Amino acid sequence: MKIAVTYDNGNIFQHFGKTETFKVYEVEDDKVVSSEVIGSNGEGHGALAGLLAGQNVDVLICGGIGGGAQTALAEAGVELCSGAQGDADQAVEAYLKGELVSRGATCDHHHHEGGHSCGDHEEGHSCGSSCGGGCGSHTTMEGKNVGKKCRTHYKGTFNDGTQFDSSYDRGEPLEFVCGAGQMIKGFDAAVADMEVGQVVDIHLMPEEAYGMPNPEAIFTVEIAELPGSEDLEVGQQVYLSNQYGQPFPVKVTAKEETTITFDANHEMAGKELNFKIELVSVE
């Protein structure tokens, strides 16, 4: 099986019709065995759908997509998972695990419906995700790097020294626009006045990172109202979508005979975080 993702610098590009590259994953036994990035080589829904069909793609994971493109993909025999955001590799892994659960998007591989990641939070331990979650509102930020494309290496640790993320381990710096709300507030603020080549160590309180847990983000729904939820287990992380169709990650915290309870708080909520940040380049 082949899965294609609208792709831009590690993340899911949000406009199918304008995507310049796809990342195509070769899958065997529900595991990724190889991947490559290909150019779109054409404009328009029909051309992109034809390109994917020519690559023998079975599934497309993407962000926003119009009705015409959906029709073209259906005619090309490509299954669609729309409404996805965040890290492309994580989206594919979640799809293969059957953890894509949401209302309103199309995703039939594991009999769940859904899209991956975000909403107001980003999932997991991959930056762009871990320290890159657009969490909360951002006030106007000042600094010479604000508004510029910055590339940083970083290592993130908890107060006990446990590492939760590192771009050094992945061998690729994180790229983002400083001050644009793509990063958590404290990380953004640290980079705003850094010099290229400079390394800083910062300690962030929860208010500068992912905030404090919100009791209202824990909610219970009827299993009958959420197709696929009957197969979920306590402790599993899945993806729902809000009334606007925006996907977001939740964790199953309880399950009764007829109801299931989810916690939509970010897993880093309430935690103090430490980062070593190295500014690699500024454009």
Sheet bearing 247-255, strands edge to edge: 218-222, 259-263, 247-255, 237-241
Q: Does the active-site annotation cover 87?
A: no
* Catalytic position from the list 7, 210, 239, 248: 210
Contact 2, 57 (CB under 8 A): yes
Q: Does the active-site annotation cover 188?
A: no
- Is 29 exposed, middle or buried, given 0-12, 13-18 or 19+ CB atoms closer than 10 A? exposed
Alpha helices by DSSP H, the chain = 45-54, 67-76, 88-96, 167-170, 185-191
Label the pairing between strands 2-8 and 163-166. unpaired
C-alpha to C-alpha distance for 24 and 60, rounded to whole angstroms = 9
Q: What is the DSSP letter of 226?
A: S
- Is 230 exposed, middle or buried, given 0-12, 13-18 or 19+ CB atoms closer than 10 A? exposed
* Catalytic position from the list 12, 184, 260, 277: 184
Contact 276, 187 (CB under 8 A): no
* Catalytic position from the list 87, 165, 188, 263: 165
How distant is the alpha carbon of residue 44 from its chain centre?
25
Cβ neighbours of residue 246 under 8 Å, at least 6 residues apart?
83, 85, 118, 119
* 3-class secondary-structure state, position 200: strand
Q: What is the DSSP letter of 46?
A: H
Q: Does the active-site annotation cover 30?
A: no
* Catalytic position from the list 7, 13, 154, 248: 154
* Catalytic position from the list 108, 201, 219, 231: 219
Q: Does the active-site annotation cover 219?
A: yes
Give the phi and the psi of residue 180 in degrees, each rounded to 5: -90, 5
Q: Does the active-site annotation cover 89?
A: no
* Catalytic position from the list 164, 176, 262, 275: 164
Q: Does the active-site annotation cover 248?
A: no
Residues classed as catalytic = 154, 164-165, 184, 210, 219
